[in-house]
Amino acid sequence: MEIVRLTAQWEAALEAFLETDKALNLFLLGFLEVHPIGRAHWFAGIDGDSLLGVVMLVPGRLAVPFSPDVAVATAIGSHLRRRKYRATMTVGPRAACDGLWTEWAGGTPTRCFFDQRLYVCREPPPGASVDGFRKALESEWKTIAVNSGLMEHEDLGRNPYEDDSSLHEAVVVDRIRSGRTWVIEREGELVFQINLGTTAEHGCQVGGTYVPPAHRGRGIATAGMRELCRRLLAKHACVTLHVNEANTGAVRTYERSGFSRESAMRLITLESPA
Are 2-108 and 133-263 equal in CATH topology? yes
What percentage of the chain reaches a pLDDT higher than 90?
A: 84
**pLDDT at site 273:** 45
Confidence of residue 236 (pLDDT cuts 50, 70, 90): very high
Q: What is the pTM of this model?
A: 0.93
Burial (CB count within 10 angstroms: exposed 0-12, middle 13-18, buried 19+), residue 34: exposed
Would you call 25 helix, strand, or coil by DSSP? coil
2-108 has which fold?
Answer: Aminopeptidase (3.40.630)
Q: What is the dihedral of CA 124, 129, 132, 135, to 10 degrees?
A: 40
Kindly list the domain boundaries of the chain, sorted by start residue: 2-108, 133-263
Determine the average pLDDT of the residues in 152-164. 85
Spatial distance between the Cα atoms of 123 and 229, rounded to a whole number of angstroms: 8
Count CB-CB contacts under 10 A for residue 235.
Answer: 9
Asked if the model's pLDDT at residue 274 lies above 70, the reply is no
CB of 88 closer than 8 Å to CB of 61: yes
Helices 248-256/220-232 angle, 10° precision: 50
133-263 has which fold?
Answer: Aminopeptidase (3.40.630)
Q: What is the pLDDT of residues 22-78, one digit of tens each?
A: 999 999 999 999 988 988 999 999 999 999 999 999 998 899 999 999 999 999 999
Would you call 56 helix, strand, or coil by DSSP? strand
Burial (CB count within 10 angstroms: exposed 0-12, middle 13-18, buried 19+), residue 82: exposed
